[in-house]
Amino acid sequence: MTNRVFVHIGLPKTGTSYLQAIAWPGRSQLREAGLLLPGARKSDHLFASMIVRDDPGIARRGPGASEAWDRIRADVAGFDGDALITHEFFCAASAEQAQRMVAQLAPAEVHLVITTRDPLGLLTSSWQESLKNKATTPLADYGRTESDDPRDVWDWRSLDLGLVLERWSPAVPPERLHLIAPAPAGAPREELWSRFCDVLGIAPDTCDTSRGFANASMGVVEAETLRRVNERLTGFNTARARGVWLRSFLADERLVPRGGDRFWPAPDQVEDARLRGARAVAKIRASTYDVNGDVDLLLVPDDLPPRRHPESVTDAEVADVALDLVATLLRDLQRRSERTSPPADPPTRRERLRQAIRGV
């Protein structure tokens, strides 16, 4: 039976993809070090988060998806060591769902791991992530709610650390709730992995950190262009289609490399994020959670450098990005056609004769 189960519940956009991109290719090395990544594959942890949150969409995820949580628990029960379950959508679970999940992992000792980020950075990053999933909501209208639905993962429900702690902290003793504060500006990329390993009790060099990647951001014009493309886009309704074509092919590979201006939401949204950060820090300071790092980095600074807002993007700017995209896509199609087109058959004897007669 597993001794301890570390359940990494998010938050979204706090380096979770980076950590998972290191852990999953190093799965066998982690197991040798005494840490199990249970389940048949990485997607089992996403599917488990849906099952825990009673999301009926699990039925559309294909054969075997509905049994993912059972597979994970069976693996945990059969391993003599520690285990890690990691997906950022767990954090949207209700208090009742959180308690049930912890109880279903008994008799293992469950530890919660929460990676964090300041609320303003979370708001802008999660808005971009929603665009990569075909959303069309302008930034001015984004983050205006606190949903009661555990299926809503791109909402303050999962982005507000204080709200997540309210639902999840009763599920385990405070000393078993581990908060990883943001790394200071200028820290090496590997700092997050090192802190994560410190909580898990493994050496950072157990896995190859070069496999990790950070989700880069689009500039303000590029983000607004993607939002407008989504408004006209039909199809691409499955998670795989969105992931392959919108997130990877269009956003990450063609819009992100352009760079572009960084941006802020509206002043009232900035102030809302500032208040949420202050409430979360006050809650942490009043607790006895295990905190790794400086929680003051969860506070939104009083003075912020000036940045654009997406509403300032002009039609001409969008048209310029769109034209560049058309040219890029045509070059992509040409290269792909040249790679996949079969070589031309050599001319037949009759064709060679005709060419000779024509003087070719």
Tens of pLDDT, residue by residue over 159-190, are 999 999 999 999 999 999 999 999 998 999 89
- What pLDDT, in 10s, does the model give residues 304-319? 999 999 999 999 999 9
336: confidence class by pLDDT, cuts 50, 70, 90: confident
Give whole-number Cα distances, 228 to 15, 112, 133, in Å: 27, 39, 13
The answer to whether residue 253 is domain-embedded is yes
Gap between the Cα atoms of 28 and 5, Å rounded = 17
pTM for the full model?
A: 0.90
- What pLDDT, in 10s, does the model give residues 4-35? 999 999 999 999 999 999 999 999 999 999 99
Beta bridge partners of 115: 180
Clarify whether residues 128 and 242 are in a common domain: no
Q: Which residue has better confidence, 341 or 37?
A: 37
Clarify whether residues 303 and 242 are in a common domain: no
Residue 270 CA, chain-centre distance (Å), reads 22
Clarify whether residues 135 and 167 are in a common domain: yes
360: confidence class by pLDDT, cuts 50, 70, 90: very low
Angle at 338 between CA 333 and CA 340, to 5 degrees: 90
- What pLDDT, in 10s, does the model give residues 116-157? 999 999 999 999 999 999 999 999 999 998 999 999 998 999
The answer to whether residue 84 is domain-embedded is yes
Clarify whether residues 121 and 229 are in a common domain: no
The answer to whether residue 348 is domain-embedded is no
Over its C-alpha atoms, the chain yields an Rg (Å, rounded) of 24
The answer to whether residue 51 is domain-embedded is yes
Clarify whether residues 257 and 271 are in a common domain: no
Clarify whether residues 163 and 254 are in a common domain: no
The answer to whether residue 345 is domain-embedded is no
Clarify whether residues 154 and 96 are in a common domain: yes
The answer to whether residue 354 is domain-embedded is no
Clarify whether residues 256 and 271 are in a common domain: no
Clarify whether residues 49 and 149 are in a common domain: yes
- Domain holding 250, by residue range, is 218-261+315-340
* CB atoms near residue 121 (< 10 Å): 18
Sheet with 109-115, strands from edge to edge, namely 35-36, 82-86, 4-8, 109-115, 177-180, 290-292
Mean pLDDT for the stretch of residues 251-266? 95
Least confident of 64-68, 69-73, 223-227, 243-247: 243-247
Clarify whether residues 73 and 92 are in a common domain: yes
What is the chain's mean pLDDT, rounded?
A: 93
CATH number of domain containing 95: 3.40.50.300
The answer to whether residue 353 is domain-embedded is no
Clarify whether residues 178 and 257 are in a common domain: no
Provide the domain count of the chain.
2
The answer to whether residue 351 is domain-embedded is no
Clarify whether residues 252 and 327 are in a common domain: yes
Gap between the Cα atoms of 115 and 287, Å rounded = 17
Within 8 A by CB and 6+ apart from 98, the residues are 167, 168, 170, 171
Within 8 A by CB and 6+ apart from 152, the residues are 92, 158
Question: For residues 153 and 122, is the Cβ–Cβ distance under 8 A?
Answer: no
